[in-house]
Amino acid sequence: MVIASIDLPPETRERLYELGLLVGTQIELIRFAPLGDPVEIKVRGYRLTIPRHEAERILVALPEVQTQK
């Protein structure tokens, strides 16, 4: 999955940018905590846990697959 947009207030969005969560960055969902919060993701080679309410505001898209012609 690739980050398409981050729909959070500027303060929170800036903190996520500093952690490496930028538009166009590939991320992988690792797991949810037993009670559903927080969420663990893999980004830029490391694992990061973020609150579920923040994770729900990170919109992702599938990466484009290039085909040979």
In the predicted model, what is the mean pLDDT of residues 47-51?
93
| Number of compact structural domains in the chain | 1
Q: What is the sign of the dihedral through the CA atoms of 12, 2, 55 and 41?
A: negative
Within the chain, how many helices (H) and strands (E) appear? 2, 5
What pLDDT score was predicted for residue 69? 67
What pLDDT score was predicted for residue 67? 66
Query: Over pLDDT 70: what percentage of the chain?
Result: 93
Whether 13 is in a domain gets the answer yes
**51 and 35 in contact (C-beta within 8 Å)?**
no
Whether 3 is in a domain gets the answer yes
- CA 22 and chain centroid, separation: 8
User: Which pLDDT band holds residue 10 (cuts at 50, 70, 90)?
Assistant: very high
Looking at every residue in the chain, the average pLDDT score rounds to 89
Instruction: Give the chain's length.
Output: 69
Token pair in block for residue 35: 């009670």
Whether 14 is in a domain gets the answer yes
In the predicted model, what is the mean pLDDT of residues 12-19?
91
What pLDDT score was predicted for residue 36? 82
